[in-house]
C-alpha cells in the first residue's frame, strides 16, 4: 500500500478493530517495511491520533478524544452514507432544520443537495454550509458563535442562544454515545454537548445519528436524556441490547441499509 494517507487510515481502522497492533504485523498486512510503519505511527502520534508503545501502537481514544475531521471522513464511509440517506428520507420539504457538525452531518448535506431538498437549514459546520450553499433550493441560515479549530464548527453561548431562540421542525444530532441503561446520550466535548442540547431543546423532532460503535457507550459530556429523542438512525446490524431498549422506550429505531443491502 504505497499511498501514505490510505496506509495511515488503514492503520487507524486496524487499531479501531483490535485496540493495539504490532509494527511487524502491520508491515505484513500493508505490504511495506517496518521502518515505513514506524514513520506512519510517529506521524499519527504527533497528531494525537495514536500512541506509540513498545513494539507497535494503540489508538489514542477515550471518552473525551475525537479523531480529526479529515481522518473521520475516511472511516465507515458506506455506513455514514446509509445513515445520511435514511435521515434525509425523514425531512419534509419546507422544514426548518438544525444540523449538527461532523462527518455524518456532512454526508447528510451531500444527500440533501443531491435531492435538491427545499428546506431552511441551520448548520453548525462550515463544511456543511459550503455543501448546502451550492444549491439554490436550500436556504442556509448561519448561526453565530466561536469557530472550533480543525473541526470548523460553531460553538459557544451565541450559537446556543441562536438555536434556543428559534423553533425547529427537525434537529439532526450526532453523538459519541447512547447509553440506554443510564438514559443519556453523550459526546466528547462539554461545549459541543451544550450546543447539541440547545438544538434538541427547541425541535419538534430530534433525530440522532449514531454509528454502531457508539451504541451502549457513555462518552465524556452528557447531551441530554433519551426522552428527548424521537428517532435513532444507525448502521448497526444484528441483535443489539441498546437498540432493543430504545424501542421499548418508544423511540423509533431505523437500521440504515447500504446500497448493496437495499438491492438484495
Q: For residues 83 and 104, give the distance between their C-alpha atoms in angstroms, rounded to a whole number.
A: 8
- DSSP helix/strand/coil, 58: strand
Q: For residues 243 and 84, give the distance between their C-alpha atoms in angstroms, rounded to a whole number.
A: 18
- Per residue in 64-90, pLDDT (tens digit) is 455 566 666 566 788 899 999 999 999
Query: How does DSSP classify residue 9?
Result: H
The pLDDT mean for the chain works out to 89
Enclosing H/E stretch for 255? strand 252-255
Q: For residues 163 and 181, give the distance between their C-alpha atoms in angstroms, rounded to a whole number.
A: 29
- Per residue in 28-37, pLDDT (tens digit) is 989 999 999 9
Q: For residues 29 and 26, give the distance between their C-alpha atoms in angstroms, rounded to a whole number.
A: 5
Contact call for residues 111 and 131 (beta carbons, < 8 A): no
Q: How confident is the model at residue 59 (pLDDT cuts 50, 70, 90)?
A: confident
Q: Which of 60-69, 80-89, 121-130, 148-157 has the lowest mean pLDDT?
A: 60-69
Q: Is the pLDDT of residue 63 over 50?
A: no
- Cell match 466535548: residue? 189
For residue 238, count other CB atoms closer than 10 A to its CB.
7
Q: Is the pLDDT of residue 145 over 70?
A: yes
The burial of 185, by beta-carbon neighbours within 10 Å (0-12 exposed, 13-18 middle, 19 or more buried), is given as: buried
Q: Is the pLDDT of residue 62 over 60?
A: no
Whole-number pLDDT of residue 17: 63
- Per residue in 96-110, pLDDT (tens digit) is 999 999 899 999 999
Q: Which of 19-23, 30-34, 113-117 has the lowest mean pLDDT?
A: 19-23
Q: Which of 45-49, 60-64, 173-177 has the lowest mean pLDDT?
A: 60-64
Q: How confident is the model at residue 1 (pLDDT cuts 50, 70, 90)?
A: low
Q: For residues 77 and 45, give the distance between their C-alpha atoms in angstroms, rounded to a whole number.
A: 23
Q: pTM for this one?
A: 0.76
Residues 6 or more apart in contact with residue 170 via CB below 8 angstroms: 90, 91, 95, 96, 97, 98, 203, 204, 205, 206, 207
Residues of the chain by 3-state class (helix, strand, coil), percent to 5: 40, 25, 35
**Distance from the Cα of residue 12 to its chain's centroid:** 16
- Cell match 479501531: residue? 16
For residue 69, count other CB atoms closer than 10 A to its CB.
18
Q: Is 107 left (phi over 0), alpha (psi -120 to 50) or beta?
A: alpha
Structural domains of the chain, ranges and CATH numbers in brackets:
4-61 (1.10.10.10), 71-263 (3.40.50.1360)
Whole-number pLDDT of residue 263: 46
Q: What percentage of the chain reaches a pLDDT higher than 90?
A: 65
- Higher-confidence residue of 6 and 137: namely 137
Q: What percentage of the chain reaches a pLDDT higher than 70?
A: 89
Amino acid at each position: 500500500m504505497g499511498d501514505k494517507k490510505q496506509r495511515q487510515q488503514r492503520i487507524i481502522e486496524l487499531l479501531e478493530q483490535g485496540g493495539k497492533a504490532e509494527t511487524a504485523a502491520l508491515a505484513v498486512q500493508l505490504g511495506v517495511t517496518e521502518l515505513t510503519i514506524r514513520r506512519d505511527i510517529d506521524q499519527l502520534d504527533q497528531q494525537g491520533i495514536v500512541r506509540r508503545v513498545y513494539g507497535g501502537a494503540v489508538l489514542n481514544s477515550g471518552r473525551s478524544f475525537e479523531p480529526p475531521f479529515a481522518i473521520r471522513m475516511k472511516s465507515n464511509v458506506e455506513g455514514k452514507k446509509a445513515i445520511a440517506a435514511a435521515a434525509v428520507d425523514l425531512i419534509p420539504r419546507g422544514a426548518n432544520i438544525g444540523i449538527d457538525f461532523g462527518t455524518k452531518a456532512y454526508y447528510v448535506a451531500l444527500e440533501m443537495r443531491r435531492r435538491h431538498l427545499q428546506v431552511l437549514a441551520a448548520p453548525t459546520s462550515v463544511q456543511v454550509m459550503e455543501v448546502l450553499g451550492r444549491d439554490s433550493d436550500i436556504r442556509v441560515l448561519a448561526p453565530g458563535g466561536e469557530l472550533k479549530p480543525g473541526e470548523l464548527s460553531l460553538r459557544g453561548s451565541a450559537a446556543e442562544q441562536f438555536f434556543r431562540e428559534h423553533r425547529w421542525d427537525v434537529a439532526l444530532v450526532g453523538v459519541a454515545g447512547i447509553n440506554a441503561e443510564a438514559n443519556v446520550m453523550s459526546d466528547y466535548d462539554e461545549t459541543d454537548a451544550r450546543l447539541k442540547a440547545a438544538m434538541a431543546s427547541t425541535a419538534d423532532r430530534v433525530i440522532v445519528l449514531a454509528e454502531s460503535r457508539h451504541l451502549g457507550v457513555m462518552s465524556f459530556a452528557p447531551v441530554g436524556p433519551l426522552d428527548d429523542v424521537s428517532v435513532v438512525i444507525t448502521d448497526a446490524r444484528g441483535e443489539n441490547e441498546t437498540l432493543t431498549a430504545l424501542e421499548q422506550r418508544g423511540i423509533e429505531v431505523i437500521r440504515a441499509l447500504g446500497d448493496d443491502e437495499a438491492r438484495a
